[in-house]
Structure 1
């Protein structure tokens, strides 16, 4: 009711309140109040909404917002629980005009991920066929010794390949490398072997 009263006062044309357990009606903007629903319920609702209507999370904790934005990149706006009225009004106006509104820490994290993905994409092509093969096996949880046995190589050779591929893609360990390249482990294109 706060949103209905507050936003109606500030010249927003029409505001409807809906429950998350019903199908989403047509809307110009969805404001999902995280203070009244668990993140899982919000996630299910966002999945039903589709990509045509802008979606903003309001009254949400930083960790929940990060999880939902990672899971649903279609989210256009995030207003943490400590957002001021001015931020809320300015953000809603931007969203209604087709823009995005994200808190600075979240935006910085997303930009960092984008930069890292671009770096990984550029470095992916520089991995040798053997490094790609080893990373693919490592991503399945195999140890260096198990990879060595499967490829008929020594564990020291596997360790050397792992060290080189980590350096090339800027990862600090095998798990991070596998995560960064999770969508590229099958590599249909030729490599620089």
Structure 2
């Protein structure tokens, strides 16, 4: 109710409230998701369902939780920690509505560092085996090691080993970053190396 009152009256915005399980059906110019009382799995599930064309901002969130969600969901355009001031919130909302991003400095620096590392590696494309490409594609779809193992008729330990090797080859620090690289940087038309 605070958001409805504060944003509606103070910022002259039309604010609609929805529960997490109803938010995916609501159309909006901006989704503000109160992460304070939600489990990470709930938030992640909701973020998967939201319209990709609408900016999303997480409000009332702890830094470590925000970092994990931004890693997994690169469509998050704004993050407001629980100690954000009203002015900070209003300024950020306006930037998001104008098409910009509003991320805390520490998170921005981390993302910039990842981007620089990816740019440095852009000249040297890794050569992945066909099996590594298969596994990375499935991991990029959100499958766990056990699910990938079952689908490819391999042991979970073998999948874990392949994941470890391909993360090292492409210079990714985790599966989410590897999946991001899969979308934009890897050239699957190159020949496979055994």
Larger Rg: 1 or 2?
A: 1
Quote the residue 1:177 is aligned against. 168
Quote the residue 1:13 is aligned against. 13
Deviation of the 1:189 alpha carbon? 2.5
Moved over 6 A (4+): none
Which blocks of at least 5 consecutive residues in structure 2 are unaligned? 133-157, 173-177
Quote the residue 2:72 is aligned against. 71
2:46 paired with 1:60: no
Instruction: Kindly report which structure 2 residues correspond to 1:1-193, keeping only aligned pairs within 5 A, or say none.
Output: 1-22=1-22, 23-124=24-125, 141=161, 177-178=168-169, 180=171, 182=178, 183=182, 188-189=189-190
Q: Please report the TM-score for the alignment, with normalisation by the length of structure 1.
A: 0.68
Deviation by residue 1:3-30 (Cα, 9 ceiling, x = unmatched)? 1111123233210110011243111111
Deviation of the 1:139 alpha carbon? 8.5
Kept after mapping to 1: 8 A contact 2:57/2:78: yes
TM-aligned CA distance change 1:27 to 1:105, over 3 Å: same
Cα RMSD of the aligned pairs, angstroms, is 3.0
Deviation of the 1:39 alpha carbon? 1.7
TM-aligned CA distance change 1:124 to 1:4, over 3 Å: same
**Aligned-partner Cα distance in 1 for 2:106–2:68:** 14
Aligned residues, how many? 154
**Aligned-partner Cα distance in 2 for 1:139–1:47:** 25
Deviation of the 1:73 alpha carbon? 0.7
